[in-house]
């Protein structure tokens, strides 16, 4: 039986002793104390431990999202940009749903809605995975009586409906005439303050991501060895502290070191960021130029594919290319590699005459 005592502070202490279990919590309101006592006694009758008052107050899926973020921040692992964006979307669309009402059908309806909004199979798969992670975290860490089974069933349904699945691998590479058209467009635009030609060439020369290009600093540059340190490079398993040194050379047709030197001359100093520009502004300028010169279906990230493919076409081995791109295995690196068959002629020529040449002449 529960006992509720009003403390001198005005708060209410509730204590339960039931079936050999004891639990105590303090509340500001008497109604909250009564509610927790009823829930606690029910859980004891079911053979479960009473929830803490902080957990018993959780009512909506948005509360679970906030709880997860708080817990991860406390252990020094706050959500990074992509995960934070997903959590924001989930809280916007599902945050007001009562925890017990988030069943299989509601999740299927959510998936259909996101697909109608333009979310692709990979994006929706990430959304569903994060929903399961939030629920599992609440159940495992805080003992909340909630099952991830509806999420698993919804995933199966959405997969069968074709709304969840693997993304289509892009193999878009810019032709040299397309790049030259973009360069002319950038250089002829007097209103453009961003050195877009230099940034695009640097992207191909280094196979770096756009956010990496706009984040590296002059302090990360090793002038003597012509090396550049990319800090906290994206990695699915180890994002924080994943620093990598890459060489600045001219293996892809554009000289990364010369581009950095030209950037220093234009800025007039070597302090702060090497490319001190907003990555969103760079991306917008790139898309506008593509539209203006009719370069279709080309994304800035495709330049990373282009740089990677050019390294292979230059004759570098897998393990050597990974020292530039940061990939940990061939499976991941292969997605960024689209070698043109014409490049095999150059590779063959660089290795000298074929030992079968005399046989062909006979």
Give residue-wise pLDDT tens across range 150-176: 999 999 999 999 999 876 667 889 999
Q: Is the dihedral angle over the CA atoms 161, 163, 167, 168 positive or is it negative? A: positive
Domain match, 225 and 332 both:
yes
10-41 per-position pLDDT tens digit: 887 877 777 777 777 776 778 877 777 777 77
- Give the pLDDT confidence score for residue 361 in this predicted structure: 46
Domain match, 30 and 127 both:
no
CA-to-CA dists, residue 94 to 19, 79, 134, 272, angstroms: 38, 18, 12, 41
Within-domain flag for 361: no
Q: Which residue has the higher pLDDT, 237 or 307?
A: 307
- Give the pLDDT confidence score for residue 344 in this predicted structure: 63
User: What value does the mean pLDDT take over residues 97-117?
Assistant: 92
CA–CA dist 22, 44 (Å, integer): 10
What value does the mean pLDDT of the chain take? 85
The owner of tokens 């969840």 is 164
- CATH number of the domain at 262, please: 1.10.443.10
Within-domain flag for 360: no
Q: pTM of this prediction?
A: 0.65
> Domain count of the chain?
3
Within-domain flag for 359: no
Domain that holds residue 124: 61-160
Domain match, 188 and 323 both:
yes
Q: Sorting pLDDT into bands at 50, 70 and 90, what band is 49?
A: low
Chain-centre distance of CA 233, in angstroms? 11
Q: Which of 248, 270, 269, 266 is nearest to 257 (CA)?
A: 248
């Amino acid at each position: 039986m529960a006992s509720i005592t009003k403390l001198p502070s005005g708060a209410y202490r509730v204590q339960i002793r039931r079936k050999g279990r004891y639990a105590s919590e303090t509340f500001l309101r008497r109604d909250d104390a009564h509610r927790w006592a009823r829930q606690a006694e029910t859980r004891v009758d079911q053979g479960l431990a009473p929830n803490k008052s902080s957990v018993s107050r959780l009512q909506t899926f948005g509360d679970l999202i906030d709880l997860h973020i708080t817990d991860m921040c406390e252990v020094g692992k706050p959500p990074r940009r992509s995960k934070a964006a997903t959590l924001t979307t989930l809280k916007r669309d599902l945050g007001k749903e009562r925890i017990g009402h988030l069943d299989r059908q509601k999740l299927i309806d959510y998936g259909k809605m996101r697909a109608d909004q333009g979310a692709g199979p990979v994006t929706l798969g990430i959304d569903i995975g994060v929903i399961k992670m939030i629920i599992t975290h609440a159940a495992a860490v805080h003992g909340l009586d909630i099952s991830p089974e509806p999420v698993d069933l919804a995933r199966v349904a959405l997969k069968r409906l074709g709304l969840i699945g693997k993304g289509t691998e892009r193999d878009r590479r810019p032709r040299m005439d397309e790049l030259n058209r973009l360069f002319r467009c950038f250089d002829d635009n007097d209103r453009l303050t961003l050195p877009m030609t230099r940034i695009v060439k640097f992207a191909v020369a280094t196979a770096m991501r756009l956010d990496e290009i706009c984040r590296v600093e002059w302090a990360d540059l090793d002038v003597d060895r012509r090396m550049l340190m990319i800090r906290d490079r994206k990695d699915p398993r180890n994002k924080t502290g994943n620093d990598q040194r890459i060489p600045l050379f001219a293996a892809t047709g554009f000289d990364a070191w010369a581009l950095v030197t030209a950037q220093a001359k234009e800025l007039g100093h070597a302090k702060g960021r090497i490319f001190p520009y907003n990555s969103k502004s760079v991306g917008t300028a790139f898309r506008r130029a593509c539209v203006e010169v009719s370069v279709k279906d080309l994304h800035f990230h495709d330049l990373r594919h282009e740089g990677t493919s050019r390294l292979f076409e230059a004759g570098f081995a897998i393990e050597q290319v990974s020292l530039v791109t940061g990939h940990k295995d061939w499976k991941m690196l292969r997605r960024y590699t689209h070698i043109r068959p014409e490049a095999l002629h150059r590779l063959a020529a660089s290795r000298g005459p074929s030992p079968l040449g005399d046989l062909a002449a006979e």
